[in-house]
Amino acid sequence: MDDNERFLAVARDRLARDGMDVVGMATTQKEALRLAEELHPDVVLVDISLGAESGFEVTRRLVADFPDLEARVVLISTRDQDDFADLIAASPAAGFLPKNLISGRAVYDLVGVGDR
């Protein structure tokens, strides 16, 4: 989930090249929750900075509504991880990836699963 549609397209293409099936993309919390219910994703990437919305709140809602996503949400940002270290640690997310380092392998390594 990201509020930048251009980044969503780039990330989708990068992850697909790495063999991941990207089943949905959302730009708002409401859309992310709807898609999670419809598509039952194995992993969800959530941008920390979503304009008026908080990626931390989206992550909490996703895990509250879909407990199977606990430790399967990856927080992403262009900002440094240290800027959010305490919030990342307190969240139910698997962890954090800088947007420029997103890859299928990095996502799988973070959530603790191998290639599918």
Phi and psi at residue 12, to the nearest 5°: -55, -50
Burial 11-20 (b: 16+ CB within 10 A, else e): beeebeeeeb
pLDDT confidence of 83, banded at 50, 70, 90?
A: confident
pTM above 0.85, yes or no: yes
Exposed, middle or buried, 39 (CB in 10 Å: 0-12/13-18/19+)?
exposed
- pLDDT tens by residue, 3-62: 888 888 999 999 999 999 999 999 888 999 999 999 999 999 999 988 788 899 999 999
Q: pLDDT at position 113, please?
A: 63
Strand runs labelled E in 15-113: 44-47, 49-50, 53-54, 73-77, 95-98
101 token code pair:
């380092």
